[in-house]
């Protein structure tokens, strides 16, 4: 099926340019469509690996969520197709790669650039939440840099569409998932959670943009249990040179109590 890109496509419609990433279930290729000459990212997923881990429904969920998403700061799905052995997702190609690469290389992001990224990702998250999608894995590795310097939120592999059909509100999640240093306290406690978990991850992301490290899992030799306790209690050290307004924003995004976080409304309704 198509989603605003080349339609009725098959693998033979593309020239493979290079491998740009490897994942748990396959690889991501940079490809060029032979007819329109546009460059895309092609995610190639092995159905055998999905079956082995019983994750076929996860991949179908990722594809279904991506078809709902049309936003300038979220990586878009152009189309998807399959063969008996593989699934293919054709997505926007982001030549700047992962923001993590730039952060890792530079150590931190310049303040004016960081503000720009924070603004764009605020709009991306606001859009996802407006259509009842929780991302659940917001981190620099999943933020991609476009050819013109804008950023897009990518990798919807853990995202969930959680609209309650009866009430029109949120249905809560309970699954413990995401990246250790970004997991929200309510998720760690196995409480019901909703978009508040994304707000927490966004706070960790903003901190990392300015400090070059996670607020709770900073040092490589840090005891993971101590870092986990710090996250549960919302204790983070303010790095030297952190701008006052960035410190204020991070403080509003990282309270351990979800309802105290910036922009969070009362807890989701419906069963977990």
Sign of CA dihedral 232, 116, 111, 97: positive
43 belongs to an annotated ligand binding site? yes
Q: What backbone torsions phi and psi does residue 188 show, to the nearest 5 degrees?
A: -60, -35
DSSP string for 188-230: HTT--B-THHHHHHHHHHHHHHHHSS-SSS-STTS-HHHHHHH
Catalytic residue among 13, 104, 137, 248: 137
225, two tokens: 């249990």
Distance (Å, whole) CA 100 – CA 246: 19
Is the separation of the CB atoms in 134 and 162 below 8 Å? yes
CA 100 vs. chain centroid, Å, equals 12
Active site residue 137: yes
CA 115 vs. chain centroid, Å, equals 18
Specify binding-site residues for ATP.
43
Specify binding-site residues.
43
Query: Catalytic residue positions?
Result: 137
């Amino acid at each position: 099926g198509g989603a605003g890109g080349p339609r009725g496509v098959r693998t033979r419609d593309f020239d493979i340019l290079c491998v740009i990433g490897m994942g748990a279930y396959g690889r991501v290729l940079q490809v060029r469509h032979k007819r329109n000459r546009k460059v895309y990212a092609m995610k190639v997923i092995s159905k055998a690996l999905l079956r082995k881990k019983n994750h076929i429904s996860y991949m179908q969920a990722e594809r279904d969520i991506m078809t709902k998403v049309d936003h300038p700061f979220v990586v878009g799905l152009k189309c998807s197709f399959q063969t008996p052995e593989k699934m293919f997702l054709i997505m926007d190609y982001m030549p700047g790669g992962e923001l993590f690469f730039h952060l890792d290389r530079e150590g931190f992001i310049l303040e004016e650039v960081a503000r720009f990224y924070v603004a764009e990702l605020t709009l991306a998250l606001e859009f996802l939440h407006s259509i009842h999608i929780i991302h659940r894995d917001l981190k620099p590795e999943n933020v991609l840099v476009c050819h013109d310097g804008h950023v897009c939120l990518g990798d919807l592999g853990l995202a969930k569409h959680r609209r309650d059909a009866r009430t029109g509100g949120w249905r809560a999640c309970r699954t413990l998932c995401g990246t250790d240093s970004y997991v929200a306290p309510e998720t760690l406690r196995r409480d019901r959670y909703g978009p508040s978990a994304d707000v927490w991850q966004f706070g960790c992301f903003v901190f990392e943009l300015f400090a070059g490290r996670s607020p709770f899992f900073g040092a490589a030799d840090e005891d993971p249990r101590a870092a986990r306790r710090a996250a549960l209690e919302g204790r983070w050290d303010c790095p030297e040179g952190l701008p006052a307004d960035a410190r204020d924003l991070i403080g509003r995004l990282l309270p351990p109590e979800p309802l105290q976080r910036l922009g969070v409304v009362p807890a989701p309704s419906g069963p977990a």
